[in-house]
Amino acid sequence: MKASFDKIDNVIEFTGSWGIASKCGLKRSSYNGKDVILVTELYKDNPGTPITQVTASLAMQVCEKLNIDPKNLIYIEHSPDMNSKLSFYDEVFYNVSFEIVDGKFINPSWKILAADEIEMYLK
């Protein structure tokens, strides 16, 4: 896999489903006073759960690790370009929205982001 490393500041470990040690790329920025977190799927370099399959838990783990107020979070999932001839592996970004109940994220919903929206969030 050739991930877009300009979108990764560092690789972090997180707890996947049922405690499985997992890894993802992380980039942090801010937009209009909100904390923007971009997590990148590392595919074969992630020995545990894929980021999308624990999205709510991972978002909360990132908030706790980086001391971010969950209400102030813009959370983006990033599937990097895999340099494949198949369009399924093109780079794609999703903004993930959650409901917050009892201090936990639930009911994630994903919305694909256009290139200019990504630029806006990450500049």
SS3 assignment, position 121: helix
C-alpha distances (whole Å) from 119 to each of 5, 25, 122 are 15, 18, 5
Q: Give the torsion through C-alpha atoms of 70, 64, 26, 73, to 10 deg.
A: 10
**Smallest separation, CB 83 to another protein (Å):** 9
> Which one, 112 or 115, has the nearer CB to another protein?
112
Minimum CB distance to another protein, residue 28 (Å): 22
Contact positions vs another protein (CB under 8 A): 1, 16-21, 41, 43-45, 47-50, 52-53, 77, 79, 82, 84, 86-89, 94, 109-110
Q: Which is nearer to another protein, 94 or 121 (CB)?
A: 94
Q: Using only the alpha carbons of the chain, give its radius of gyration.
A: 14
Residue pair 27/122 in contact by the 8 Å Cβ criterion: yes
CB of 92 to another protein, least distance (A): 8
Q: 30 or 53, CB closer to another protein?
A: 53
Task: Return the structure tokens found at 19.
Answer: 């405690």
Nearer to another protein, 70 or 108 (CB): 108
